[in-house]
Amino acid sequence: MATGFFFDEKCFWHAGGNYALTLPVGDLVQPLAAGGLPESPETKRRLKNLMDVTGLTADLDVRSAAPATDTMLKRVHPADFLAKFKEVSDAGGGEIGLRTPFGKGGYEIAALSAGIATEALRAVTSGDLQNAYALSRPPGHHCLPDWPNGFCLLANIAVAIEEVQAQGLAKRVAVLDWDVHHGNGTEAIYYDRDDVLTLSLHQEHNYPLDTGDVADRGKDAGLGTNINIPLPPGAGHNTYLHAMDKIVLPALHDFKPDVIIVACGFDAGAFDPLSRMLATADTFRQMTKQVMTAADSLCDGKLLLVHEGGYSEAYVPFCGHAVIEELSGSDITAEDPMAASLTLRQPNARVEAFFATLVDEMADIFASQPG
């Protein structure tokens, strides 16, 4: 079966407000030449453009999807929140959360983004596709049921999970979030449930500042099914792979999901303006290889990657291309132009060994206190 690639040009038309990076323009904050939030369409559009130029797109089953319906959205989001979002959207746009501005029609574009993730997950869980990549925008992993934040307007992955569970296509779902920011929205939605495992591999105290701690393990029926792996700034390539080996993969094998979803942010990349993690395109390729091996063993290869963050317009396309090369098994490549220099910029052996001890300590905590 082919690898699916789900996208829609309309998602690139989502527009943010008058920000300079993440600061509202005004007082002493000057507008940037490019304007707006770092969550712009260009990183996603340039990824798709690079795939078109190399020919990788032709190796994929390219599809779009219908917007998520009210029924789908209301399984996650309260009706009054959705009504307010639609009202502000119809009136020309605005902001109803934290750093989540949108223009007229923003509600419909966000519903389309959620619909793309949902249809991609349906195609994978039904056996229509082996695996898939959903180029969703706006992103979703920070969105709480009734409060959007961090560029995220609707909880795309949660909407998708609830739909396939309602259709009986999957019962147990694992969500691995390797976006550099803590997946607080997904965590909150599933914090007291034992049918969804949430793992977040993130830069410690980046965003949000007050979530993502190792001690946050879930509650009630969900106790033990939430795992946070906060890494220090500068962690680098080998630390990410070590965390995958020591914590993520054992947790997936213990949980035995019917399908694995990756909240696939590329903002841990070395050139991202919102992080300091030194990950490379090969970091994302190797993590994809690791999670594909786990999916092959646990759930007949059923794997979906849903696009989240990543704000380096120059570098994100190479990270995304590497992931989709690996996911599809294509022999079409886009050589990372920064690979040699980023290898030299990785932490030295002593620092890397220290980071490994931090990961090992977290692994011991999770092993000794599974719930």
Within 8 A by CB and 6+ apart from 112, the residues are 8, 10, 11, 65, 66, 67, 68
| Distance between CA atoms of residues 132 and 6, nearest Å | 8
Structure-block tokens of residue 82: 């959705």
Select from 45, 315, 101, 270 the least CA-distant residue to 180: 270
Q: Which residue has the tokens 């959007």?
A: 148
Catalytic residue among 14, 77, 141, 142: 142
Q: Are strands 303-307 and 131-134 parallel, antiparallel or unpaired?
A: parallel
Taking alpha carbons only, the member of 207, 191, 162 closest to residue 309 is 207
To the query of whether residue 237 is one of the catalytic residues in this protein, the response is: no
> Do the beta carbons of residue 277 and residue 203 sit within 8 Å?
yes
Nearest alpha-carbon partner for 336 in 280, 293, 263 = 280
Antiparallel, parallel or unpaired: β 173-177 and 196-203: parallel
The whole-angstrom separation of Cα 238 and Cα 216 is 25
Cβ(177)–Cβ(202) under 8 Å?
yes
CB atoms within 10 A of CB 106: 27
Q: Which residues are catalytic?
A: 142
